[in-house]
Amino acid sequence: MSWTGKLIGGLLGLLVSGPFGAAVGALLGHQYDLAAARSAAGGVAPGERFFQAVFQVMGHVAKADGRVSEREIDAARRIMQELRLSEAQTAEAIRHFTLGKQPDFGLDAAVLGLRRACAGRPDLLRVFMEVELRAALAGNDLAGPSRPLLQRIAGLLRISGLELAHMEALLRFHEAGAGAAPGPAQSSRDAALSHAYSVLQVESGASDAAVQRAYRRQLSRHHPDKLKANGLPDSMLEHAKQRTQQIIEAWELIRAQRGL
């Protein structure tokens, strides 16, 4: 199935209003399209494995407490809708979600298979983890066994606990901001500053030097020129510029607050 570019682009589309740049999503989608094209005949293309794992693991996490609630089903369907999957693709996603709910579902095998398919492309694994977190937050707010299970999955993908905590904090910030009423000015400033630290993926108590290093690291990771050199098409460069601007704005806010 040739769903890869659509899927990866859609996944980042779910997150573009947050700190996870659309530019990276476009690049990852492009890389997966190339990988799928090179896949050996008869094998499972990396993009197809990604698709399967997203919904199988989502179903498995939803069933972790023994039942799948209406809220968890709604969360999964909302993600499918926001991905703008076709009717056939939605049916396939539901099939994989159902497979993940089965008692004999091999979670470790599915996650490790995804890790092998994404070898050398850790950004894809981060996208995967962000989507699983988003579904679990919307489904049950990481209650019960969901949190430890997602922590275990992150460990299998070699995503650190600190990085997972950053993902959760950013998703919670943007989910709260989407429906929250305007608050006092000081609260708004505090929230903006907290978000700025999250964008740079650094703690607010870090030293000035550590914050500067975090800023440079994020800027290097998402710079349009670097992404273009890695295969990002010209049509997606505007997204990369927007992501870079977000990082710069976060740095400027922190720099002004610290008097740097």
Q: At what angle do helices 4-15 and 122-140 cross, to 10 degrees?
A: 60
In the CATH hierarchy, which fold is given to the domain comprising 181-260?
Helix Hairpins (1.10.287)
pLDDT of amino acid 62: 96
Full pLDDT tens readout for the chain, 260 residues: 445 555 555 555 555 444 444 444 444 444 445 444 444 434 566 667 878 898 999 999 999 999 999 999 999 998 888 777 778 888 998 999 999 999 999 999 999 998 988 787 777 777 788 889 989 999 999 999 999 999 999 999 999 998 888 778 766 765 665 444 444 555 667 777 887 888 888 888 889 999 999 899 888 776 767 655 544 434 345 545 666 787 888 888 898 888 88
pLDDT of amino acid 118: 78
Per-residue burial over 158-195, b if 16 or more Cβ lie within 10 Å, else e, is ebeeeebebbbbbbbbbeeeeeeeeeeeeeeeeeebeb
Q: Residue 78 and residue 117: Cα distance in Å, rounded?
A: 26
The DSSP symbol for 241 reads H
Other C-beta atoms within 10 Å of 215: how many? 21
pLDDT of amino acid 169: 73
Task: Give the domain ranges of the chain.
Answer: 1-171, 181-260
Q: Residue 226 and residue 6: Cα distance in Å, rounded?
A: 23
